[in-house]
Amino acid sequence: MLTWEEDVDAHALRRQGWTISAIARHLGRDRQTIRDYLNGAKTPGRRRQAPDAFAPFLEYCRQRLADDPHLWATTLFDEIIEMGYQGGYSTFTRALRRYYVRPHCEPCQTTQGRDVAIIAHPPGEEIQFDWLELPTPPEEWGGGEHAHLLVGALPHSGRWRAVLAERKDFAHLVQALDQVVRKLGGTARRWRFDRMSTVCYPSSGQVTAAFAAVAKFYGVGVDICPSRRGNHKGVVEKANHSAEQRWWRTVPDGLTVEQAQSGVDRLAAQMDGRRRILDGARTTVGEHADAEVLLEVPAIPFPVEVSVERTVTPQSLVSFEGNSCSVPPGLAGTRVLVRHRLGEDLTSSPPAARSSPATAGHRAGPGGP
């Protein structure tokens, strides 16, 4: 782009008989640039406007935010990237502000500017765990009004992983804990929880004997958040928010539990790419987490028994965590109890005979527990 002074000089030199090449050398510009300004194809001080890459997606974004005013910009960005948007995230957010796409929300304005506390977390010292209640799961899951996601986060690096669980009872908690620490690549020296009744006595915060056995099995200490004192699990709560906004809000009907689990796994791995600046050097959450020294996880999970009820199909099968278990013929439509002691075979038995020997047993497949 030529300045007005350069444009005046170029026209003056041209009238004096200078060639375009000579003018270009004199002004230190490209010959085509000089030619465009002399021909009036370009105007000094004005850059050529590139096509607005956001324009084709404007109406879609308006509709999405009208339907869900609190939808995260990152979630919406993920969606239009899949639709073919070529711009960057910062360009996208500027376009949202320029076009006033997001509806105004007065309650949200009052939450800005709150004081925050920075808590130091040594590497490999702690994993923060928390349950995330997921409303209105697909009916095919058969889990009722809520699905349950156990999220575990390393507060030093910010890496997190999560596991879907059918229930929040003790057995499902232990199963999910084991899977989360394996997804993280190891366990920190201490585990932090809020006052879950499956971990401690809520009134006193003292760890239960049952969970103490779990902690000793994995060789970790247990910290319980003090009553009525928040902000002790801020990293995992932020991870919960990310999982809810960027994954759960986009889960379509008809998705299986296994497919949904793959989706949250992809999101967690994607968020390892978040950029960080540490001691003046650029890095990512994933690189920072890889440098954390974690303890090895036992070769087999803690031997707790998980049990759920299932309905027998006309093919005399029951499904459980990606596996199919066969039962004797003639039980189609019957509710049976599927039992699985972590690290062992699957078993199933009719609810009326739960104390009797199992009617069938099958080893879990590679994708199962």
pLDDT tens digits along 40-67: 888 886 666 667 889 999 999 999 998 8
**Which strands make up the sheet holding 146-153, listed edge to edge?**
160-165, 146-153, 126-135, 190-193, 221-224
Q: Which of 181, 180, 179, 169 is nearest to 210 (CA)?
A: 169
**Confidence at residue 353, expressed as pLDDT on a 0 to 100 scale:** 39
137 with 32, same domain?
no
pLDDT at 224 over 80: yes
Backbone φ and ψ of 310, nearest 5°: -140, 160
**Confidence at residue 136, expressed as pLDDT on a 0 to 100 scale:** 86
Does residue 253 lie in a domain region?
yes
Does residue 298 lie in a domain region?
no
- Answer whether 222's CB lies under 8 Å from 193's CB: yes
277 with 328, same domain?
no
65 with 182, same domain?
no
Least confident window among 227-241, 247-261, 302-316, 345-359: 345-359
CATH of the domain at 133: 3.30.420.10
**Confidence at residue 125, expressed as pLDDT on a 0 to 100 scale:** 94
Of 264, 290, 316, the one marking the end of a domain is 290
Does residue 78 lie in a domain region?
yes
275 with 309, same domain?
no
136 with 262, same domain?
yes
Give the pLDDT confidence of 102-121 residue by residue, as tens digits. Answer: 888 777 665 555 555 667 78
80 with 208, same domain?
no
Least confident window among 126-135, 139-148, 264-273, 328-337: 139-148
Burial 320-335 (b: 16+ CB within 10 A, else e): bbebebebeeebeeee
338 with 197, same domain?
no
Mean predicted confidence (pLDDT) in 157-171: 94
62 with 101, same domain?
yes
* Backbone φ/ψ region at 228: left (φ over 0), alpha (ψ -120 to 50), beta: left
Backbone φ and ψ of 214, nearest 5°: -65, -45
pLDDT at 187 over 70: yes
Least confident window among 291-295, 318-322, 346-350: 346-350
Mean predicted confidence (pLDDT) in 146-171: 94
Does residue 184 lie in a domain region?
yes
- Rounded CA Rg of the chain: 29
Residue type, 338: V
358 band by pLDDT with thresholds 50, 70 and 90 = very low
187 with 241, same domain?
yes
Does residue 300 lie in a domain region?
no
Number of domains comprising the chain = 4
**Confidence at residue 360, expressed as pLDDT on a 0 to 100 scale:** 46
Of 78, 109, 140, the one marking the end of a domain is 109
d(CA 11, CA 23): 9
How far CA 225 is from CA of 115, 258, 319, in Å, comes to: 20, 32, 37
% of the chain residues with pLDDT over 90: 44
131 band by pLDDT with thresholds 50, 70 and 90 = very high
What are the helix (H) ranges across 99-208?
106-109, 170-184
> What domain range includes position 175?
126-290
Mean predicted confidence (pLDDT) in 182-205: 94
Mean residue pLDDT of the chain comes to 85
Q: What beta strand segments (E) does the chain contain?
A: 126-135, 146-153, 160-165, 190-193, 221-224, 275-278, 281-284, 305-311, 317-320, 323-326, 335-341, 346-349, 360-362
24 with 143, same domain?
no
Residues 6+ apart with CB under 8 A from 72: 245, 246
155 band by pLDDT with thresholds 50, 70 and 90 = very high
Least confident window among 72-76, 173-177, 293-297: 72-76
**Confidence at residue 233, expressed as pLDDT on a 0 to 100 scale:** 78
352 band by pLDDT with thresholds 50, 70 and 90 = very low
DSSP 54-104: TGGGHHHHHHHHHH-TT--HHHHHHHHHHTT--S-HHHHHHHHHHTT-SPP
**Confidence at residue 75, expressed as pLDDT on a 0 to 100 scale:** 85
275 with 316, same domain?
no
Does residue 175 lie in a domain region?
yes
What CA dihedral angle connects 320, 325, 330 and 332, to 10 degrees? 20
Of 240, 264, 290, the one marking the end of a domain is 290
pLDDT at 5 over 80: yes
136 with 283, same domain?
yes
**Confidence at residue 337, expressed as pLDDT on a 0 to 100 scale:** 80
Does residue 297 lie in a domain region?
no
Least confident window among 89-93, 224-228, 262-266, 361-365: 361-365
**Confidence at residue 363, expressed as pLDDT on a 0 to 100 scale:** 47
369 band by pLDDT with thresholds 50, 70 and 90 = very low
Does residue 150 lie in a domain region?
yes
- Answer whether 165's CB lies under 8 Å from 133's CB: no
d(CA 300, CA 306): 15
